[in-house]
A and B are shown apart, each in its own frame.
Chain A
């Protein structure tokens, strides 16, 4: 039915376009001066037909299932559902639906078969009704827009207004989704903070979320201080940034200023490939290659090294970030006007002096912005640390020790059978909220820094 509705819609849109355009051209050929060219009269008809009917179809599809179900359930013979609790009612409803879909298990009661038949007929009716309503809307649209064709009618502005409205709608979607995600995080976190005091969460130095799920289980009471988890995140981020920023910057500077075109033609795509590797593959690399290598070096040097060190996770994360930082810095350097480079060279500066004293300082705002965004990414990175970092939260800043991160804890808290009213599960939302606030703050600072330097230099 939906297919028929859309076919109807498309045909009408096309007809409306041709009809209005022809009418407008006829007016023009009759010697009238048109305000808008014929195409806009046609487009106006298309939009007036398509936009309202698409809205009708989508609303219809969204609302028909619950409405029909309610009608079927209320149409059951009196007393059938008496004595059934809500779970059993839902079960009955599901069975009716599967019978209606042609999947009959065993021999259901006759009232269920009747209900299924009723469901099917209601669905058919709803489909036809939808087509009828769409036809009505389409016809109204065609009639109204055909009437609007006149020399003075500003079809061009009308079309632009409608398109503007569509653009506003599309951009508002992103805003609403963001607000929705934040609100869901906030509400779940509030439920968590009703069970665990917020001060304990923010300032506690023990993170042991293994609380008993059932009353008869024996386990620790559970402690929800996020500081060790945060510290672990910061240690891994620090390692990643300390490695990736110098490597990324140096490679960008080399590629931008010194490399021969041939080398650049090879190295640039390689860096882009590095950026395209899925993080789970970096995870393999961390546990199978980097972590054992670090452990072997530690053993050779006589230093105690944990099996899953912050150094391994951070180091591999650094490899992931190198192309990110490098391309950011490359763009920032390329954006420096050629006249500055020429000016410096003409004063007898070498290429390295030009880079160090003119190009690099001029590119600093872009580079700082890129580094801060890289920090945000490192803090939020999940797959590599889930595979390569530890699970136990420790208050340590030793990169050779095993630490855990906020993202790892969120994943472990939510994996498996979970109850959505225990603090163990809700803690994941509180951690998620903190992560969101942290990265948001860094992004704000990044934008501020970029803007401040730009004021100085432009």
Chain B
């Protein structure tokens, strides 16, 4: 019933970037995610909403296999990125993460210069053949993150010296610099003030033209503002998935309605 291809005739199989099939996640004995099936579209912003501990961040971290870094985490089921299971043994998680970028809740710039922060990914993956190319990638990424004009004269200064909002956009630039196909954002605005939040939201709107964006958020207003598709998680289940407008105006599930009207959460 969450299959968007069936409900909206306009969407074709080609537009689907990520398909999750029966994804289950366990932390030790505790099950954090139960049988999640979802199709995430290309060049679309998909928002995951739900109360704390509902599994939305856990699912996000499955898509780029960041759960691999947690020893007790165990993932079952399939996640297909361009029809290839990311949990297939042939897939190198390191390569996968270059294709699926991630921005975290708290800005986490490296203790390096602004330039080196953005150049980190391209250097690791050998994306530039010479310094001029690398300069181009860095400038492009910083422009893409709407940060270029603010930092172009101080690229050698430490990235940790920027303001919170600038740091978060630096982290977005850092993720964009490896030219990913999907960008995962785990509550990217929860540590930012309203002005910085608005800047990041504008940026998300821009980024959507290039790739698929998946954003976890606690703010339903934010989900309504930035996303085209919304998925509501509750207690490890994907309760409802559909067009953002539909979810917020005429939810089908009573739990979704209770959450968006502020009765659970």
* A interface residue numbers (CB < 8 A to B): 261, 337, 339-350, 353, 357-358, 361-362, 456-458
* Cβ A457 vs Cβ B178 within 8 A: no
Contacts of A341 in B (CB 8 A): 69
Q: List 17 A-B contacts (CB under 8 A).
A: A339-B106, A340-B108, A340-B110, A343-B109, A343-B171, A345-B66, A346-B104, A347-B98, A348-B94, A348-B178, A350-B94, A353-B124, A357-B110, A357-B124, A361-B111, A457-B158, A457-B160
| Interchain residue pairs A-B with the least CB separation, the first 4 | A348-B98, A346-B102, A339-B108, A348-B97
* Cβ B175 vs Cβ A347 within 8 A: yes
Contacts of B71 in A (CB 8 A): 261
Contacts of A358 in B (CB 8 A): 110
* Cβ B97 vs Cβ A345 within 8 A: yes
Q: From residue B169, how far is it (CB to closest CB) to chain A in Å?
A: 14
- Is B121 part of the contact surface with A, judged by Cβ < 8 Å? yes
* Cβ A348 vs Cβ B124 within 8 A: yes
Contacts of A345 in B (CB 8 A): 66, 69, 97
Instruction: Report the separation of the CA atoms of residues A348 and B64 in the bound assembly, to the nearest whole angstrom.
Output: 9
**Binary A-proximity of B117-135 (CB < 8 A = 1, otherwise 0):** 0001100110000000000
Contacts of A261 in B (CB 8 A): 71
- Is B249 part of the contact surface with A, judged by Cβ < 8 Å? no
* Cβ B104 vs Cβ A347 within 8 A: no
Instruction: Report the separation of the CA atoms of residues A160 and B256 in the bound assembly, to the nearest whole angstrom.
Output: 56
* Cβ B104 vs Cβ A339 within 8 A: yes
Q: List B42-99 residues whose CB lies under 8 Å from chain A.
A: 64, 66, 69, 71, 94-98
- Is B174 part of the contact surface with A, judged by Cβ < 8 Å? yes
Q: From residue B179, how far is it (CB to closest CB) to chain A in Å?
A: 12
Instruction: Report the separation of the CA atoms of residues A353 and B125 in the bound assembly, to the nearest whole angstrom.
Output: 11
* Cβ A347 vs Cβ B121 within 8 A: yes
Q: Quick one: given A350-B94, A457-B111, A458-B160, are A344 and B120 in contact (CB under 8 Å)? A: yes
Given contacts A344-B120, A347-B175, A348-B178, 17 further A-B contacts (CB under 8 A): A340-B110, A342-B69, A342-B108, A343-B108, A343-B109, A343-B174, A345-B66, A348-B95, A348-B96, A348-B98, A349-B94, A349-B120, A349-B121, A357-B124, A362-B111, A456-B158, A457-B160
* Cβ A342 vs Cβ B124 within 8 A: no
* Cβ A357 vs Cβ B66 within 8 A: no
- Is B242 part of the contact surface with A, judged by Cβ < 8 Å? no
* Cβ B160 vs Cβ A343 within 8 A: no
Nearest B residue (CB) for A353: B124
Instruction: Report the separation of the CA atoms of residues A458 and B174 in the bound assembly, to the nearest whole angstrom.
Output: 19
Instruction: Report the separation of the CA atoms of residues A411 and B79 in the bound assembly, to the nearest whole angstrom.
Output: 71
Cβ 8 A contact of A337, one of B96, B98, B108 = B108
Contacts of B120 in A (CB 8 A): 344, 347, 349, 357
Instruction: Report the separation of the CA atoms of residues A343 and B158 in the bound assembly, to the nearest whole angstrom.
Output: 16
* Cβ B69 vs Cβ A347 within 8 A: no
Q: From residue B178, how far is it (CB to closest CB) to chain A in Å?
A: 6
Nearest B residue (CB) for A347: B121
- Is B236 part of the contact surface with A, judged by Cβ < 8 Å? no
- Is B218 part of the contact surface with A, judged by Cβ < 8 Å? no
Q: Quick one: given A349-B94, A457-B160, are A344 and B110 in contact (CB under 8 Å)? A: yes
Cβ 8 A contact of A349, one of B64, B108, B111, B124 = B124
Q: Quick one: given A345-B69, A347-B124, are A361 and B97 in contact (CB under 8 Å)? A: no
Instruction: Report the separation of the CA atoms of residues A87 and B104 in the bound assembly, to the nearest whole angstrom.
Output: 82
Instruction: Report the separation of the CA atoms of residues A458 and B160 in the bound assembly, to the nearest whole angstrom.
Output: 7
Instruction: Report the separation of the CA atoms of residues A337 and B121 in the bound assembly, to the nearest whole angstrom.
Output: 19
Q: From residue A144, how far is it (CB to closest CB) to chain B in Å?
A: 57
Contacts of B101 in A (CB 8 A): 346-347
Contacts of A357 in B (CB 8 A): 110, 120, 124
Instruction: Report the separation of the CA atoms of residues A351 and B178 in the bound assembly, to the nearest whole angstrom.
Output: 18
Q: From residue B177, how far is it (CB to closest CB) to chain A in Å?
A: 8
Contacts of B98 in A (CB 8 A): 347-348
Contacts of A348 in B (CB 8 A): 94-98, 121, 124-125, 178
Cβ 8 A contact of B66, one of A342, A349, A350, A353 = A342
* Cβ A346 vs Cβ B125 within 8 A: no
Nearest A residue (CB) for B71: A261
Nearest A residue (CB) for B64: A346
* Cβ B97 vs Cβ A346 within 8 A: yes
Contacts of A347 in B (CB 8 A): 97-98, 101, 120-121, 124, 174-175, 178
- Is B112 part of the contact surface with A, judged by Cβ < 8 Å? yes
Nearest B residue (CB) for A260: B71
Instruction: Report the separation of the CA atoms of residues A191 and B71 in the bound assembly, to the nearest whole angstrom.
Output: 65
Nearest B residue (CB) for A350: B94
Q: From residue A178, how far is it (CB to closest CB) to chain B in Å?
A: 36
Contacts of B94 in A (CB 8 A): 348-350
Q: Which of B71, B120, B125 neighbours the largest number of chain A CB atoms within 10 Å of its CB?
A: B120
Q: From residue A97, how far is it (CB to closest CB) to chain B in Å?
A: 69
Nearest B residue (CB) for A455: B158
Q: From residue B67, how far is it (CB to closest CB) to chain A in Å?
A: 11
Instruction: Report the separation of the CA atoms of residues A342 and B102 in the bound assembly, to the nearest whole angstrom.
Output: 9
Instruction: Report the separation of the CA atoms of residues A261 and B106 in the bound assembly, to the nearest whole angstrom.
Output: 28
* Cβ B112 vs Cβ A361 within 8 A: yes
Instruction: Report the separation of the CA atoms of residues A347 and B124 in the bound assembly, to the nearest whole angstrom.
Output: 9
Instruction: Report the separation of the CA atoms of residues A361 and B171 in the bound assembly, to the nearest whole angstrom.
Output: 19
Q: Quick one: given A348-B98, A357-B120, A361-B112, are A342 and B158 in contact (CB under 8 Å)? A: no
Instruction: Report the separation of the CA atoms of residues A348 and B121 in the bound assembly, to the nearest whole angstrom.
Output: 7
Q: Which of B64, B94, B106, B109 neighbours the largest number of chain A CB atoms within 10 Å of its CB?
A: B94
* Cβ A456 vs Cβ B97 within 8 A: no
Nearest A residue (CB) for B99: A348
Instruction: Report the separation of the CA atoms of residues A349 and B95 in the bound assembly, to the nearest whole angstrom.
Output: 9
Contacts of A346 in B (CB 8 A): 64, 66, 97, 101-102, 104, 175
Q: From residue A259, how far is it (CB to closest CB) to chain B in Å?
A: 12
